[in-house]
Amino acid sequence: MSFHIIEQAPGRLNRSELAVPGSQPQLFEKAAKSNVDVIFLDLEDAVAPDEKEGARKNIIEALNDIDWGNKSMSVRINGLDTHYMYRDVVDVVEQAGERLDLIMIPKVGTAADVYAVDMMVTQIEDARGYSKRIGFEHIIETALGMQNVHEIAAASKRNESLHFGVADYAASTRARTTIIGGVNPDYSVLTDPAEDGSREVHWDDMWHYALARMVVAARANGLRPIDGPFGDFSDGDGYRAAAKRAAVLGCEGKWAIHPSQIALANEVMSPSEAEITKAKRILEAMKQAEAEGKGAVSLDGRLIDYASIRQAEVLVEKAQQIAAN
């Protein structure tokens, strides 16, 4: 390990994160009763300009009045380039800050953006005498945000997670997309010709680099990397495939833009029984190896060593966190 110790963000379960427009309060109760880990009540892109004020009021009322159980509650404020943002922070934190766990900052571009919101939230928390500190979730969804992702990730002690906002990221980088978070047949490779001259088209994941880059920045700063939206909510298989790709890269969770996506995210982002059993066997085998003075041993014909212990521990820890939820 480096001499630089990475402080980990609070161990919050974040397998699924449901987006709920603040302008549609009729959806709140159902969201509160769902199986989702985190809910973000949206003031930004799902809310039309003339509904912003009403949505703010709805959210404040709902945070105070609805029983959200043990869910983590977040509010997505408007971007720092709008005149809505300061009131989003002031009104929501002043009037409902006690039930608010997180603030989601969209289109964050620089570390100074984080500093600005941190300053406002700190003043309000101090003035109100709140004992709990509100955490930050940042959506990395612009070319600028991706360029500065490491500085953003390190910009505040409140930082908890980075989210890949694929829709705005596509707009910002002028990427060609078909659906939000989907793939594009133009992003493919052609195999060499077979004997009969035929060639296969292999579709590829155009989001791989961006997501992997964000995962590194998140993990290097002790934050949770979370994959963003998948727009076609009638395509469960497509969602599951996207979530699996994200999980393989290290993401801990994925957004649900529709309640039907919650179960899919929870399923993909939870370790399976087989994985947990295997991890426990690795820990057991390494304990035995250690007792015998060995640093590496084989299990089921494969080498395991101290790095295997760390991987297994992460898995078992996650399973315990889920069981305790």
Helix (H, G, I), strand (E, B) or coil at 103: strand
Binding Mg ion (rule: CB under 5 A), the pick from 165, 225, 253, 271 is: 165
| Distance in Å, CB of 69 to ligand GLV, minimum | 25
Question: Segment contacting ligand GLV (CB under 6 A): 164-172, 203-211, 260-268, 311-319?
Answer: 164-172
Q: Tokens 């300061």 label which residue?
A: 86
Binding ligand GLV (rule: CB under 6 A), the pick from 88, 137, 141, 227 is: 141
Residue 106 or 271 having the CB closest to ligand GLV: 106
Quick check: 165 binds ligand GLV (CB under 6 A)?
A: yes
H or E segment to which residue 114 belongs: helix 111-128
Give the C-alpha separation, 102 to 166, whole Å: 21
Instruction: For residue 85, give the nearest of 61, 102, 58, 105 by alpha carbon.
Output: 105
Tokens of 147: 């360029």
Binding ligand GLV (rule: CB under 6 A), the pick from 229, 261, 270, 282 is: 229
Residue 104 or 276 having the CB closest to ligand GLV: 104
User: Contacts with ligand GLV: how many residues (CB under 6 A)?
Assistant: 9
Question: Segment contacting ligand GLV (CB under 6 A): 80-88, 120-128, 166-174, 195-203?
Answer: 166-174
| Distance in Å, CB of 140 to ligand GLV, minimum | 10
For residues 1 to 20, the per-residue mask of contacts with Mg ion, x marking binding by CB under 5 A and - elsewhere, is --------------------
Residue 105 or 264 having the CB closest to ligand GLV: 105
Q: Which does 166 bind (CB under 5 to 8 A by kind): Mg ion, ligand GLV, none?
A: ligand GLV
CA distance readout (Å), 190 to 151, 178, 197, 257, 274: 38, 20, 12, 34, 36
Question: Segment contacting ligand GLV (CB under 6 A): 151-159, 162-170, 232-240, 301-309?
Answer: 162-170
Give the C-alpha separation, 32 to 98, whole Å: 17
- DSSP assignment string, 176-245: --SSTT---TTSEEEPPP-TTS---EEE--TTHHHHHHHHHHHHHTTPEEEE---S-TT-HHHHHHHHHH
Site for Mg ion in 111-140 (CB under 5 A): none
Residue 102 or 304 having the CB closest to ligand GLV: 102
Give the C-alpha separation, 110 to 145, whole Å: 6
Length of the chain counted residue by residue: 325
> What are the φ/ψ torsions at residue 145 (nearest 5 degrees)?
-60, -40
- For strand 102-105 and strand 188-190, is the pairing parallel, antiparallel, or unpaired? unpaired
Residue 21 or 228 having the CB closest to ligand GLV: 228
Query: What is the CA 120 to chain-centroid distance, rounded?
Result: 24
Question: Segment contacting ligand GLV (CB under 6 A): 49-57, 129-137, 159-167, 186-194?
Answer: 159-167
Binding Mg ion (rule: CB under 5 A), the pick from 101, 168, 227, 252 is: 168
Q: Which does 227 bind (CB under 5 to 8 A by kind): Mg ion, ligand GLV, none?
A: none
Q: Which residues contact 46 (CB under 8 A, 6 or more apart)?
A: 19, 21, 22, 23
Give the C-alpha separation, 32 to 96, whole Å: 16
Quick check: 167 binds ligand GLV (CB under 6 A)?
A: yes
- The answer to whether 74 and 103 are in contact (CB under 8 A) is yes
Quick check: 228 binds Mg ion (CB under 5 A)?
A: no
Site for ligand GLV in 53-112 (CB under 6 A): 106
Residue 225 or 228 having the CB closest to ligand GLV: 228
Contact residues toward ligand GLV (CB under 6 A) are: 106, 139, 141, 165-168, 228-229
Contact residues toward Mg ion (CB under 5 A) are: 141, 165, 168
